[in-house]
Amino acid sequence: MNSYTSQESRPLVLLVDDSPSGLQMLSHSLSKAGFILAEALSGEEALAFFPQLSPDIVLLDIMMPGMDGMAQPRAARESDPDLVSIMMTGAGTVLMFAGGLIMTGTLALLPTMLQNLMNYPVMTTGLVCVPRGIGSMAAMFIVAPLINRVDNRLIILFGFLLTAVSMWQMSQFSLQMGMAPVIISGFLQGFGLGCTQVPLNIIALSTLPRHILTQGTAIRSLMRNLGGSVGISVLVAILAQNTQVVHSRLVEGLRPDNPLAQAPYLAAPFSLTTPSGMAALNAEVTRQAAMVAYVDDFKLLMLIALASLPLLLLLREARRRPPPVATAAADD
């Protein structure tokens, strides 16, 4: 920890982070803004700093071993009740990661499901997925005038709830459904995710200094793309695993001693006695097992959308600038 005895009028900022690289990045950015800086690698080390010199602001990480970012401000206020503590959270970045995971993960699952299981042509599959993009575009046009009138966190909450509803609807898909459920759920998902993107960017980037705004934007784009990459990998792996598990459970009842697996209950072209009939039966079992696996993936995405909602409590609405006072009013 660094100690300072400067009597300059510039504010003293105490940086608390268990990551040395994080401290270095913050110190580099804030020193350019003219702040006097002190550094601590833990909440306990930060408390030991107070008898020497009281900082004006404490900027601390919320996730630290030992005394975390929630406990340290409470303990510090016992020495200085007027101390300003600002917690740094990755809530906005995690929400962007979750949004990228849901958006890209669904985009990877839905076309393969429509083409492989429901025999949709490529052109039809593309047209069925178009409403999703329309919903996202419509949401951005609607959200734009609301950003300065409504708490952005409420807009993000609405977007993730609508996304969860669309994923719940996707979890009700079946092999006998038509195009309507796919179109409606796709539009709702696109509209919901479109409601989250702009407010998330505003909340996360509005407080950054201009000289690091480019880096912040790049990190958020990276996290969105990383969420999509991780989402595709995880969802495809779970899809393959669940397909095999469900397939093994379904074939347990396809035995020669099962009367329901014989004619007339098992109609042509399915059969347990001919090679072609067994091949057709295995293809149908695999098709149904894959549909169950797709539904499980959609349920997982719904749970991810719902699990992201508590992170909104860690976001803080950016301060809005007061409207300019009219010249006539000033003259009065």
* Residue predicted with more confidence, 166 or 322: 166
Whether residue 56 sits in one domain with residue 186: no
Give me the CATH number covering residue 61: 3.40.50.2300
Residue 321 is assigned to a structural domain of this protein: no
The CATH code of the domain that includes 295 is 1.20.1250.20
Q: What is the mean pLDDT of the chain?
A: 81
pLDDT tens per residue, range 146-194? 888 888 889 999 999 999 999 999 999 999 999 999 999 999 999 999 9
In terms of domains, do 255 and 175 share one? yes
Q: Tokens at residue 229, please? A: 């990459």
pLDDT digits (tens, 9 = 90+) for 297-308: 999 999 999 999
Domain total in the chain: 2
- The CA distances from residue 216 to 66, 102, 164, 203, 243, in Å, are 29, 22, 28, 12, 40
The predicted model gives 7-29 an average pLDDT of 72
Residue 118 is part of which domain span?
92-313
Considering only residues 163 and 280, tell me which one the structure prediction assigns the higher pLDDT: 163
| 143 pLDDT higher than 60 | yes
What residues contact 304, with CB distance under 8 A and at least 6 apart?
98, 101, 102
Q: How many residues does the chain have?
A: 332
- Record the tokens describing residue 221, joined without a space: 């784009």
Residues 205 and 270 in one domain: yes
**Domain presence at residue 305:** yes
**Which tops the pLDDT comparison, 54 or 331?**
54
Classify residue 328: in a domain, yes or no. Answer: no
Residue 55 near residue 13 (C-beta atoms within 8 A): yes
pLDDT, position 35: 76
Q: Do 96 and 231 reside in the same domain of the chain?
A: yes
pLDDT at 9 over 70: no
Mean pLDDT of all residues in 41-67: 73
183 and 220 inside one domain: yes
Q: Is residue 5 part of a domain?
A: no
- Per-residue confidence band for 327, with pLDDT thresholds at 50, 70 and 90: very low
Residues 133 and 200 in one domain: yes
Q: What is the reported pLDDT for 320? A: 53
Asked whether residue 294 falls in the same domain as residue 160, the answer is yes
pLDDT at 187: 95
- What 3-state class would DSSP assign to 231? helix
Residue 103 and residue 196 in one domain: yes
* Residue 7 domain flag: no
Indicate whether 234 and 282 sit together in one domain.
yes
Please state the pTM of the whole predicted model.
Answer: 0.75
**Is 100 a domain residue?**
yes
User: Is 268 within the bounds of a domain?
Assistant: yes
Same domain, 194 and 309: yes
Domain limit, last residue, from 88, 116, 135: 88
Minimum mean pLDDT range among 109-118, 179-188, 255-264: 255-264
pLDDT at 318: 54
Rounded percentage of the chain residues whose pLDDT exceeds 70: 83
pLDDT at 95 over 60: yes
Whether residue 70 is predicted with pLDDT greater than 80 in this model: the reply is no
pLDDT at 4: 44
Mean of the pLDDT values across residues 312-321? 65
Same-domain status, 128 and 171: yes
115 and 253 in a single domain? The answer is yes
Q: How many angstroms separate the CA atoms of 98 and 306, rounded?
A: 10
Residue-level pLDDT at 68: 67
